[in-house]
A and B are shown apart, each in its own frame.
Chain A
Amino acid sequence: MSENISVILIKQKFHISTGQEIKPDRQALYSLFIAFLLSVSPHLGRLPVWFTLLGIFVFGWRYKIITTNGTPPGSVIRIVIIFTVLFLLFQHYHTLLGRDAGVAMLVALTMLKFLELRTLRDYMLVVFLSLFIVLTNFLYSQSLWLGVYLIVVIIVLFTVMMYLNHRNRQKPFTMLKRAAAIVMMGLPVAILLFLLFPRLQGGLFGLPSDSHAGLTGMSDTMKPGSINELNQSEKVAFRVEFNGRSPPVTKQRYWRGLVLEKYEQGVWKEGPQVKAIAGAVRYEKEDLIEYSILQEPSNQKWIFVLDMPVSKPAELKWGTGQTLRSMEPVRERLQLQMKSAIEYKFTGISNGVRQRNLDISSVKGARLTRLADKLYREAGSDKAYIKAVFDYYRDNEFFYTLQPPLLGDKPVQSFMLDTRRGYCEHYASSFTIMMRLAGIPARVVIGYQGGEWNERGDYLIVRQSDAHAWSEVWLDESGWVRVDPTSAVAPERIEYGFSAMRELMEQGQPLGNVAGERLQAILAGTLFSRTIKGVKLFWDGVNTRWYKWVIDYGRKNQNGLLRWFGFQQTDWGKLVFLLAGLVSLVVGIQAWLLFRRKKIDPAVRQYQKYCRRLCRVGIVRSPSEGPARFARRVIGARPDLRERVMSVTEAYIAILYAGNTHKEQQQRLARTVNEFRPGH
């Protein structure tokens, strides 16, 4: 008996109708199905193809059950189906663990749950599983678009939950609005948790180990053709911010990645790793540039830095020839603070390095050797020889083209003397060989050159298509000197960047002699192409900020933020304490904002007390019952209470509806309610 009364009291308090149990109907099933599909849709391309068939099979069966009023499959059939699906999954992935197989299993089992939906509890379970599937989408991508989309999906799932739980259903749009309001109300707490929740090392989500398939980047060897593939790709390689300053001009933007010293069978490779000597580079203070690099995942260790890096962040190590590389392949976006000198001088060269950079054991072709001898004899000195080779490129109808003819087994000789068509790799390779033939130490550097300046975000975008190769020669008086033979043939490539040059080539303009203004006009493009470009750059800016401030927000930024608020020396425990305090503060403010409007009239409170007392003797006021009608019913059931019920009701009505809010009236109501004891 007492239990019943407390249930009634709770229902009374929260206006819960005491009517029949809620039964999910057909509409509920359809909306649940749609919500489930929405949460799975980003996974669709990643799941095995036969999932579509499984989905059609499950939902078709379910539909048949509804339309024919049939019964769901029995437990034996269900177990058989589940094991079949698990077997198929194992066949496909060869495991049931890890990210891909785990997600597929979760999706498959949720789908199978549709076959046995019966009670409200089953429906709610599918809603919760769908919310979990929403979360797994972040294991694959953390882009802004996906985030926005998944918030929408969460709102839809909340709407379905509301639909399932409310007996007096509201119009779908009203429920959608309410669900959106609930999600929005959760945002402040979500932001707090995001900012202050103690961080573990790693990304925003700890990713399973099979999460890094299919990343592309530069390879560690160079033979003609390898960069060309990259040149076709518009994918971003990395972005650079110059800490609010403007970037160096395009022809100084050489992003050094690897130094290749070994030439074997027409392929350039890295030499043995030599530790960089501290102080190997001398530079003036004013030539120093500070910048930060946001490296995209490349699955390789190379880090591309502005020529010439002079300091090393703690997470990197030095590679051959003043290059930098990370300890592990770069699989997540990496942000690095760098320092480079635009003007620099190498102080010395070891004998081993000199020998390696003079190695011509693999160079074939007598005509090539004769050419080098002839040019060096005419020039007389190392410097003049470099200029002579440059002039040789310029005066002998060399062309820059992305579709060079094939070279035979003497690639450098056929390029220099016969085909004379190629791009940066051919020029860098042949130039370096020409230097070595004349006894000048020389090597190939690969990396990127140029980059697009995004004015909206004040940062530089370097794409895969900006990949480039150039040479470095050792001159005893100036150290290693960067020489870019491509500039002899296609100066536009260096001055305006790869995309500008390609634009020129596509328009059929000859390279090397287009004058400034005309070039500018060609490069400006039509209004349409400029608009498209502007939108692209804007979106890239938004995305970059998203990654920088949201995805890459880690322990370091957290500590910085806390210090900014005056918290020195935070540890795990303090953080949790602070977080709990702030979250309860925010929730408290929200609760106050929410319930402030519904300030309860003291008269109403008294009347509720009176109703509770009647409830205890089994007379329950229905929420839609007015006070006068309720009084009549009470008197009907308990004629002995007539006098007291009348006086409470009269006083209540007088205050609430007749506007008689005198103090005596309030007191009268309070007194009569207090005296009201309907107990037997």
Chain B
Amino acid sequence: MKTRFNELRRFLNELVLGKEDKIELCLCCILARGHLLIEDLPGMGKTLLAHSLAKAIGLNFSRIQFTSDMLPADITGVSVFEVANSSFRFHPGPIFSSVVLADEINRASPKAQSALLEAMEERQVSIDGCTHLLPDPFFVIATQNPLEHSGTFPLPESQLDRFFMRISLGYPNRDSERTLLEKEDRRELLTKCEAVITKSELLIWQQEAKLIKTRPALLDYVQDLVEESRNSANFINGISPRAALNLVSGARAWALLAGRDYVIPEDVQDVLPAVIGHRLTQAMDQEGHMNLGMNPADRLLEITPVP
């Protein structure tokens, strides 16, 4: 299993240069059956990363480019009247794929956003009274531009909470950028690539991740974190039970990727910023300023002792 992970990592790192740590988080997210939100400036390789992930897993892939005039039917599909047998037939929308890339999700209206997010949560779509199951595995990678950009509808907290993780890529370092500039276009490279792992392999891994051991000492630590986030005056809202669950399953997947069958506190610490970052809001401090020096997740980790 370890060699297979390494093959997967090598494959992705060849396509997306210099982002080993972020790729590791993406893999963790997939193994934990979570949905991923990538937030960054345009042109930072968000779409490339999403494409590469889909390609590597070898699942069928569709891309939805979100725009402000988009309707829910553009995502979920519509029932069309067919004259030949005079009946309605359901034409599945782009969401009926194993990997869905929802590009620039915050450019769409809240109505279209919620159609996607409901499907993400329920893993099924209901149209005209019929329930259509989405394929398994089902994995949404959404990208969004930073909220300050014009023409964006920010995702409300309740919908942000549906995403398992939020990561941002950031600029590549100097060496990676040089390679990027020298070598051929990544997109072209992508079309030539073959899938690295199979669907059944992924399903097995996802099962494995669920079986990773979490001992009482570790759960104590997770609960301490949760409690601290709820009681501390540093944060406005505490960690929700769903977020806590995601934290544990993320830590399990992280331990699996590290080749362990048990979770240690460091696993939790590694995934926490990505899992909790978009759900934790920092409170103003007493003088009325935001504490800009440290992001809320790191602050939470710093003030919670490891048992």
Report which A residues bind B (CB closer than 8 A). Answer: 15, 17, 25-28, 168-172, 174, 601, 604, 623-629, 653, 656-659
Contacts and interface: CB of A to CB of B under 8 A. Distances in A.
Nearest to A603: B217
A626 B286 contact: no
Given A26-B286, A626-B269, A629-B266, A172 B233 contact: yes
Nearest to B258: A628
B12 interface: no
B43 interface: no
Given A657-B262, A658-B262, 16 more contacts: A25-B286, A28-B286, A168-B232, A168-B303, A169-B232, A169-B234, A170-B232, A170-B233, A171-B231, A172-B233, A626-B264, A627-B265, A653-B264, A657-B218, A658-B260, A659-B215
Given A623-B305, A624-B302, A657-B215, A26 B287 contact: yes
A379 to B, nearest CB: 89
Given A657-B264, A659-B262, A170 B231 contact: yes
Interface in B206-232: 213, 215, 217-218, 231-232
Interface in B264-288: 264-266, 269, 286-287
Contacts of B233: 169-172
Interface residues of B, number: 25
A27 B286 contact: yes
6 contacts: A170-B231, A170-B232, A623-B305, A624-B301, A624-B304, A659-B215
A15 B302 CA distance: 12
Interface of B: 213, 215, 217-218, 231-234, 260-266, 269, 286-287, 301-307
A151 B233 CA distance: 25
Contacts of B262: 657-659
Nearest to A174: B231
A623 B306 contact: yes
Contacts of B264: 626-628, 653, 657
Contacts of B260: 658
Contacts of A15: 305
Contacts of A601: 217
Contacts of B231: 170-171, 174
A170 B232 CA distance: 4
A26 B284 CA distance: 14
Given A168-B303, A626-B269, A658 B213 contact: yes
A463 B261 CA distance: 81
Contacts of B286: 25-28
Nearest to B302: A624
A26 B289 CA distance: 13
B304 A656 contact: no
B306 A626 contact: yes
Contacts of B301: 624
Contacts of A657: 213, 215, 217-218, 262-265
Interface centre among B218, B286, B287 (most CB of A within 10 A): B286
A5 B305 CA distance: 20
Contacts of A17: 303
A15 B228 CA distance: 14
B217 A624 contact: no
Contacts of A174: 231
Nearest to B225: A624
Nearest to B305: A623
A25 B261 CA distance: 47
Nearest to B261: A658
Contacts of A25: 286-287
A505 to B, nearest CB: 63
Nearest to A623: B305
A117 B261 CA distance: 56
A488 to B, nearest CB: 75
A17 B261 CA distance: 33
A657 B264 CA distance: 6
A601 B303 CA distance: 22
Contacts of B307: 604
A49 to B, nearest CB: 35
